[in-house]
Structure 1
């Protein structure tokens, strides 16, 4: 087995856990199945993670990072703030469509955490990560597109996280029909909450 820095090994195990949990569910995924997926020994897992809870937190953070990276790339400044916002939501929508299992896993992780004593704080951490991600994206938009919010960023971040939950479930359950109209409406609404300084 190739020696690898522990941060890289944790990333390898986390990505393997995402694949295993997407395929087998959270409850059906064991440390053994994660190590088999990653092609490493069980001792490597225990060197990198001290508990299943630590692994789940890493999974939640990594899935959030996947979505944020896609959206951040898409929201480079365009002619109008609305077009920039629309591009970000289109990128997110496309990511959900291309990775439905990963996005279904986020809901399963929330339910798992809320239903298993001792894991409840993972659901809270999950949503704190969502709020931090939206706050980061709003700051990125402010810097890149030059706008001020009409409402506090923390309030808008929480609203966007709640709205994105619904948007994601809508796509997972009903499919992509009517996507353009939904995304147009969201872009109009979100852009209307900002003052474009461009």
Structure 2
């Protein structure tokens, strides 16, 4: 990695953490340090020296575990999604009704957003960095593919075996939800209009349910 946060770098996989607990703990500490640097100072703060200082490791150790900025950012992204998953699993009750789950998921999403303002801004900066940096565009796609897959699973969790149609519909609905949530995040953070955000959230729940209902109706076999 290089200390210039704007220099394009080729994607490279991170080195394995190793079989020891110490190795896994060191890798996790580096990821945490990178996330803290990103949350507190944006991409400009995401230099090897600042990450190493935040993680409490030597530069050589950081380079051993992550030999490109993109490999480290991918690990940060995976950590963010794991944190969301743990939160949602604790908050979302099991229900076989996907329309009911949509409201529960969206409202849980918004509670998480409100608790993690700096993380949300960091995720937006991560997306913009990937889109602007030649050779890193794949990271933005990986980011949204991961979010869509995650929310699609939540929508149909509890309905039994998920068919190919349900997988397709779940991804379409998850993408629709993210469009609304992304817009509400930026608007709410910029304007601080919490009442407007709640109204927007209610509208998003209704619109997403209607979208799911329409897609399920289109996928249902016709009688005759």
Residue in structure 1 matching 2:201, options 183, 188, 196: 183
The residue aligned with 1:88 is 105
Name whichever of 36-45 and 3-12 sits farther off. Answer: 3-12
Residue in structure 2 matching 1:21, options 24, 38, 49: 38
Listed one character per residue, the Cα deviations across residues 51-93 of structure 1 (whole Å, up to 9, x for unaligned) are: 1110011112222332233233322136976554333222221
Listed one character per residue, the Cα deviations across residues 3-23 of structure 1 (whole Å, up to 9, x for unaligned) are: 744333222211111111111
1:109-120 → structure 2 map (5 Å cutoff): 109-120=126-137
Give the SS at the match of 2:195. Answer: coil
Distance (whole Å) between structure 2 residues aligned to residue 66 and residue 183 of structure 1 = 22
Distance (whole Å) between structure 1 residues aligned to residue 154 and residue 88 of structure 2 = 8
Give 1:174 shift.
Answer: 2.5
Give 1:191 shift.
Answer: 3.3
Checking the alignment, whether the CA contact within 8 Å between 2:102 and 2:155 is kept in structure 1 is no
Distance (whole Å) between structure 1 residues aligned to residue 78 and residue 142 of structure 2 = 9
Is residue 9 from structure 1 mapped to residue 39 from structure 2 by the alignment? no
Normalising by the residue count of structure 1, what TM-score does the alignment of the two structures yield? 0.81
Structure 2 alignment gaps of length 5 or more: 1-19, 217-224
Is residue 160 from structure 1 mapped to residue 154 from structure 2 by the alignment? no
Distance (whole Å) between structure 1 residues aligned to residue 150 and residue 98 of structure 2 = 19
Checking the alignment, whether the CA contact within 8 Å between 2:102 and 2:208 is kept in structure 1 is yes
The residue aligned with 2:3 is none
State the structure with more CA Rg. 2
Listed one character per residue, the Cα deviations across residues 145-166 of structure 1 (whole Å, up to 9, x for unaligned) are: xxx96x7222222222322222
